[in-house]
Chains A and B, each alone.
Chain A
Amino acid sequence: MTALVEINAPASAPTVAPRRPFVALLRRPMGAIGVGMLLIALAVAILAPFIAPYDPYANVRVTIFDIYQAPSGAHLLGTDDRGKDVFSALLYGTRVSLLVGFSAALIALVIGGLVGIVAGYRGGRIGAGLMRITDFFLVIPDLALQIVIVAIAGQSLVNIIIVIGALGWTTTARVVRSQTLSVRERKFVLRAKAIGAGDIHILRRHILPQVLPLMLAIMVLVISLAILAESTLAFLGLGDPTLTSWGQMLNFAFTRGAVSAGAWWALIPPGFAIVWVVLGTTLLGTALEEALNPRLKRHHLERDRSGSRPVPELDGAGSLVLPPPRPANAPLLSVRDLVVEFDSPSGPLRAVDGVSFDMRRGETIGLVGESGSGKTTTVLAMLRLLPPGGRVVSGQVMFDGEDLMGLDARKLRAVRWSRLAIVFQGAMNALNPVRTVGDQVAEAIRTHEPSAGRRAAITRAEELLERVGIPRQRARDYPHTYSGGMRQRAMIALALACSPDIVVADEPTTALDVMIQAQILELLAGLSSELGMATIMVTHDLGVVGQRCDRVLVMYGGIIAEEAEAFRLYAHPQHPYTQQLLASFPDLSHPERKLAGIAGIPPRLDDMPPGCPFAPRCPHVFDRCRVERPPAYDLSHGRRAACFLVEPGHERRPASAGGAADA
């Protein structure tokens, strides 16, 4: 998914620096507040003997007048049923509640973690058995069992901790198991096995470090559950009667007439304290989960604010607006100075920086570039399908006389897909798994031609599928019965459903085998010449460009470095990047050629060179390149190149030997 990499990498890199997860945590308001609240509770628990005005455990004589005294200077929160200071009891209660919470959570975590890791890593019968036991514990009503056990075993603090811990591990076990399972499947674990590492080593070095942060997040939540459980038990009269905890305070207040005495001060403070700690832990837990798993925050295919949709969902029919007739020689598509930016914590990042090109009817254009070059972003921006955080800053996309950037959502939908369709990379995974393929193609037809009847649409869908090489009877099958190549064909059928003028194929064959790739490319070429469709082929494969494209746009660092007809580009590349790219690309027709890689790496969006984006890697670089961005110079035969070396009057023209003979 080039699009994903291109868009997410720079935006998420600064926020997910795994080296300082704590800093990332505190940057989130939820995390900072949660940590603050818990630190206060912890400080209170530790300092209780020093800040409490009275000792709730001290034996003091009380008279009837001391009971349920309203708050006053002597007793900030009044007194309770035994005439003791509520404020002091509250402070001391923090110790018991937190002690129970942390100890019980630790027990739950150790049991749950062990069960989860063993079940996830071992798998097989042991894993299945452990998970059945977990399921069993999960359906037992916790509270009822806790009450029974505590009642039988005795109401001591230790018993309460053990009971809460021993019954609270199930969630941990399930979450840890699924995380272990997914880590176990990852390639670095396989690599460790290939090195010859044993299970213990793999668990310690590879699995645990991936699972522990997650357990930390769970732990915080388990703590809050344990505190709640302790309060509940104490409230029900099953707490340790010798200790003051918040639940115990509530219990005594309720059973000993605080309500009838109107002594709200004996009820509200312990209640508030419980809410305080539980809220604090919950906030911290949520923030932790987000900090450790940034993807929770936003999905890249989420609908964006402007209302345009990422994947062409084919609902919301828009009637087709017939465009006014155009002069025959005008370009079908004309992109002018397209600029696209993505939001990031460090300010907007420019992914596409002034892209312009024209396209005629029936033409096949190759948009070539490496990941991060902006090729996918360019086509997504053209169709206004940018993911959230991305926007077109300026520029025009004239399609058959209309500026797509200015269309309202309804009109845009009518153009999109029916006249300008896109086949995504990995699109074979974009079919709805619970509906037959024929149904989905028929739906696409009917969305844009509401007049077509259901039967007629299905018949046409079957014809379309046949045309892309899928037998008619398979239209009634579900996508999972199709192979990858067939699904990609089905996606092409879907794209062709409305006979569009332009098909954008974004890496249409990247995940496919060469033979299937050849079949798909042949299919696209045949269909486009038959139907007079223009095709934009977005690819990194110079071979696909050489074999299938009329004209080529080479993108680098968000600009079009060079544009030329395919054979001229290959024979006489003008831009140093094109020359080097050709020299680094293996060519079966010239196996004797020694390949040379391009030193350095493609520029990152958040670290774009001020001058020519290729300057840091360019062998012909000179001072001007580093400070000034070269414009696109028009050359003969309708070619363009954005390089000072081809500037008219520049004496040092780059070696214009063919890419093949070069080097």
Chain B
Amino acid sequence: MPDTMPVLRVEGLEKRFPGHRSLLDVLQRRAARDVRAVDGLSFEVMPGEVLALVGESGCGKTTTGNLLLGLMPSSAGRVTVDGHEVGSLSHRELLRLRRTVQMIFQDPYESLNPRMQVAEIVAEPLRVHGEAGTPQETKERVLNALVQAGMTPPEAYLHRLPFELSGGQRQRVAIAAALALRPRLLVADEPVSMLDVSIRAEILNLLRALADEHGIAVLMITHDLSTVAAYADRIAVMYLGRIVEIGDARTVLGNPQHPYTRALRSVVPVPDPSARRRPVILSGETPDPSRIPSGCRFHPRCPVAFARCPTVDPPLYDLGSGHLAACLLVEDAAQAEAVAPAAPAVPAATERTAEAPPAG
């Protein structure tokens, strides 16, 4: 959709938390090590698109969500929502902007006030933004939002308290509250990880339907690649505060180009026992974001790292059709793409084999 404007555009977003400086550091005149939680993030989300932000804990995906909602100030970069730059807005405008971006949290047991009835919870955003209108109008919008969130018949739920609802119903209420303001973008932070397995698909189908039928853009923050494969249009894989690979979900997962994506893809347990395969298990854990390695930030754990990796910080190379990867191994393929943009990016990109050899 080249002619439509993205609902969300993030450019060079950064978030640093000031590091602790011990007495020893002060004496040795060492500068404090800032924790670079988000370190130069850029992406766009189109209307009706589901973009999954994937990564392990500590990669900065949740911080990103909080930054987009304006729950904490960013250190650098630009966030444009619906054409308005978030950073340049006054407090009042920011509040109004919040209407267009709504968040759905991970834990429906925690994110609903246990003492408020469903009707109050769903109407709260309307009240906060002074859109409540007459009691009749409020009720109508609350009922509409509940129906949109799949709570039918909505009247039956109005006066329930959260503890009277199942986990799936609670998450639907949270979604209804988010929908009450008719937002353009939903940020869903691990929306189903606390729910029972048999309930998850319904909630995910609901989010998918909101994107498809109402054109709402969804930024899904998750660690679950299986879910991403089934529900997201595009996927952005984060590692240590930066996107290392982004592109169409099927393409990226079917033919991952970055070694990190490839490893992540290989360790996802799949229910089919005949699909058992040797996982690429990376040793150790994600490094401390206050000590981001030099060069390519993934090189200390990379199974295919070579001499240049510790010195060159690879940018995102364009592999064609919106597939980008930040790995020196795809540099050549990307250049070939730049010369002949019409040619298919990587020969393997069209095959959907999981065990494609590294493109290096």
Contact = CB atoms under 8 A, between A and B. Distances in A.
Interface of A: 13, 16, 18-19, 186-188, 190-198, 201, 205-206, 209-210, 370-371, 483, 485, 513-519, 521-522, 540-548, 566-567, 570-571, 580-582, 584-591, 593-599, 601-602, 659-660
B311 interface: no
B98 interface: yes
25 contacts: A18-B115, A19-B161, A190-B105, A191-B174, A195-B102, A195-B128, A196-B125, A196-B129, A205-B116, A205-B124, A209-B113, A370-B196, A513-B57, A514-B56, A514-B267, A514-B268, A515-B267, A545-B271, A580-B198, A584-B197, A586-B200, A586-B201, A589-B270, A591-B249, A597-B199
A599 B201 CA distance: 10
A159 B200 CA distance: 63
Contacts of A543: 226, 268-271
Contacts of A210: 115
B250 A515 contact: no
A598 B203 CA distance: 11
Given A209-B115, A586-B229, A193 B71 contact: yes
A515 B263 contact: yes
Interface string B231-243: 1000000000000
A522 B223 contact: no
A485 B201 CA distance: 28
Nearest to A193: B71
B225 A196 contact: no
B119 interface: no
Contacts of B163: 13, 16, 18
A186 B177 CA distance: 17
A570 B166 contact: no
B159 to A, nearest CB: 10
Contact of A582 (B200, B204, B263, B271): B271
B218 interface: no
A582 B226 CA distance: 13
Contact of A589 (B111, B227, B275): B275
A572 B129 CA distance: 53
Contacts of A587: 226, 230, 270-272
B99 A196 contact: yes
A602 B271 contact: no
Given A187-B111, A513-B56, A586 B128 contact: no
Contact of A547 (B174, B177, B276): B276
B89 interface: no
Given A514-B264, A584-B201, A597-B205, A541 B269 contact: yes
Nearest to A19: B161
B111 A548 contact: no
A567 B273 CA distance: 5
A13 B114 CA distance: 13
Given A197-B128, A597-B199, 9 more contacts: A13-B163, A187-B105, A187-B106, A191-B105, A205-B113, A514-B225, A570-B272, A588-B253, A594-B230
B356 interface: no
Nearest to B249: A591
B5 interface: no
Nearest to A599: B202
B48 to A, nearest CB: 18
Nearest to B278: A522
Nearest to A582: B271
A570 B273 contact: yes
Contacts of B285: 483, 485, 513, 515-516
B112 interface: yes
Counting chain B CB atoms within 10 Å of each CB, the highest count among A201, A581, A595, A659 belongs to: A595
Contacts, number: 208
Given A18-B115, A483-B285, A566-B273, A196 B95 contact: yes
A518 B279 contact: yes
A601 B199 contact: yes
Contacts of B3: none
Interface string B84-113: 000000000011101100110111001111
A186 B226 contact: no
Nearest to B267: A518
Contacts of B115: 18, 209-210
Nearest to B95: A196
B34 interface: no
Contacts of B249: 591
B270 A18 contact: no
Interface string B187-203: 00000000011111111
A588 B270 contact: yes
B281 interface: yes
Contacts of B227: 586
Contacts of B270: 543, 546-547, 587-589
A542 B106 CA distance: 21
Contacts of A187: 105-107, 110-111
Contacts of A188: 110-114
A556 B22 CA distance: 53
Interface string B246-282: 0001100110000000011101111111111001011
Contact of B272 (A190, A515, A518, A589): A589
Contacts of A544: 269
B268 A194 contact: no
A545 B270 CA distance: 8
Given A187-B105, A187-B111, A547-B270, A581 B226 contact: no
Q: Which 6 A-B pairs have the closest CB atoms?
A: A543-B269, A597-B202, A196-B98, A518-B267, A597-B201, A591-B229
B114 to A, nearest CB: 7
B168 interface: yes
A18 B198 contact: no
Nearest to A510: B193
B239 to A, nearest CB: 11
B197 A542 contact: yes
B218 to A, nearest CB: 15
A601 B270 CA distance: 24
Contacts of A594: 230
Contact of B250 (A19, A540, A591, A599): A591
Nearest to B204: A595
B82 interface: no
B273 A547 contact: yes
Nearest to A197: B128
A595 B198 CA distance: 10
B65 to A, nearest CB: 9
B226 A588 contact: yes
